[in-house]
Copies of this chain bind each other. A is one copy, B any other.
Amino acid sequence: MKKIWQKNSTQNMNSLIEDYTVWIDYLLDMELISYDIIWSKAHVKMLNKIWILTDSEKNLLLQWLDEIQELVKKWDFKILKQEEDCHTAIESYLTEKYPSIWTKVHTWRSRNDQILVTTRLFTMDKVSKIIESIEILINSFEKKIKEIWGIKMPWYTHMQKAMPSSVWMWLWSIQDSLKDDLLLVKTALEINNQNPLWSVAWFWENVFWLDKQFTCQELWFKKVQSNPMYASYSRWKFEHIILQSLSQIMMDLWKFASDMVLFWTKEFDYFTLPDEFKTGSSVMPQKKNWDVMELVRWNSNLFLGYEYQVKEIFKNLMSGYNRDFQLTKEPYLKWIKLTENTINICNLVVNNLWVNKSKLEFACSKELYATEQAYKLVKTWTSFRDAYKIVGEKYL
């Protein structure tokens, strides 16, 4: 199979160069191919509407695209390394069927369009699911808060016990943070909800007319993204915006995990998890470890490393399309998956969290109430500064 951009079959690339440029796109694209098929069908319908394809051509193409979709679902469709990506794999499959029909389908769209629309649809789908997962997690916090209502816990400043607080206040603080994050994620998704289809075609609008609104409705996009330069640049930009918003989630869960790892040390001993969350040591017979929270903590780093990879490319690039845009695919797909997994793992942890009531109450020792003592003096008309001094003298 020739590459889409090859002019004749005798032209060949240096194979070392080819390996370096193809990378692992052909593997990653298995996650994306379904979305390409979905909008290719919309594109075919539109080409029929504007007389590029006859009705029977349209019907054949829709049928064949459904056929590939079926194969993909059953993991019976493969993207070959020399095909580079899912777009070429589809083309390769359909060209064999009936070349003269397929060749018309690439009218008005570039490979840049193809990946742009595919990624947008992928994002709409996956991030909507992530939003659902977050809502489930928020509910799990709610349920757990009710369950452990009334159990006291020290509040720390500078990692030193400071004031009396409670387990539910700690859980509620994480839940509140996730709620604020949701607003960010939804805003990011709203920005992503723009149809870049045929942005490149813009350059020849004087040549042909396209029904952009039609595909916009067909694919449930909120609006058309008309500027082709911005469409190209926004491939990177929208990925980065989605990522920024999800990073807030990851940081909240890092915080939860980091607290957990600390709170279940023997020295604190506030919480624990069932045995099925444990791993052991290859040397020390007595050890039981809860690796899972360490991994949540670490995956936040991993995530921020992928964010770095995506974010930084803007610094290299002049306006227009640059090959670098293409390379965000790996980190982008990975952190979408990572985020979803991490939310689900945390949900499992919240649901199974066991609170060591006696230890927590024992930890709420007398000195936590020093400020309350001062305020009781305030109630008897001592000024706060004086009350502070009076109580403070006991703790010199």
| A residues whose Cβ falls under 8 Å from a Cβ of B | 3-8, 11-14, 16-17, 20-21, 100, 103-104, 106-107, 110-112, 155-165, 169-170, 172-173, 176-177, 180, 183-184, 187-188, 190-191, 200, 203-204, 207-208, 227-230, 233-234, 237, 240-241, 244, 247-248, 251, 254-255, 258-259, 261-262, 265-268, 275-292, 294-295, 297-302, 304-306, 308-309, 311-324, 327, 331, 341, 344-345, 348, 363, 367, 370-376, 378-379, 383-386, 388-389, 391-396
Contact = CB atoms under 8 A, between A and B. Distances in A.
A391 B180 CA distance: 49
A339 to B, nearest CB: 13
Contacts of A288: 160, 395
A384 B162 contact: no
B312 A7 contact: no
Interface of A is mostly: helix
B304 A156 contact: no
A279 B21 contact: yes
Given A159-B265, A172-B230, A292-B21, A309 B314 contact: no
Given A294-B322, A384-B104, A170 B315 contact: no
21 contacts: A7-B392, A14-B348, A20-B295, A21-B295, A158-B289, A159-B261, A159-B262, A162-B287, A162-B321, A165-B228, A173-B230, A258-B317, A259-B319, A265-B267, A285-B374, A286-B371, A301-B316, A301-B327, A302-B309, A302-B327, A308-B308
A348 B17 contact: yes
Given A158-B323, A323-B295, A345-B16, A251 B314 contact: yes
Contacts of A348: 14, 16-17
A318 B376 contact: no
Copies held by the complex: 4
A288 B285 CA distance: 39
A378 B259 CA distance: 38
B230 A323 contact: no
Contacts of A4: 282
Contacts of A292: 17, 20-21
Contacts of A384: 103-104, 106-107
Contacts of A285: 7, 370-371, 373-374, 388-389, 391-392, 394-395
A4 B281 CA distance: 8
Contact of A160 (B289, B378, B385): B289
A43 to B, nearest CB: 13
Given A14-B276, A170-B319, 12 more contacts: A7-B389, A17-B292, A106-B282, A110-B283, A111-B281, A158-B322, A163-B200, A173-B227, A254-B315, A258-B315, A298-B313, A305-B312
B159 A320 contact: yes
- 3 shortest interchain CB distances as A-B pairs: A305-B309, A5-B280, A285-B392
B162 A103 contact: no
A265 to B, nearest CB: 5
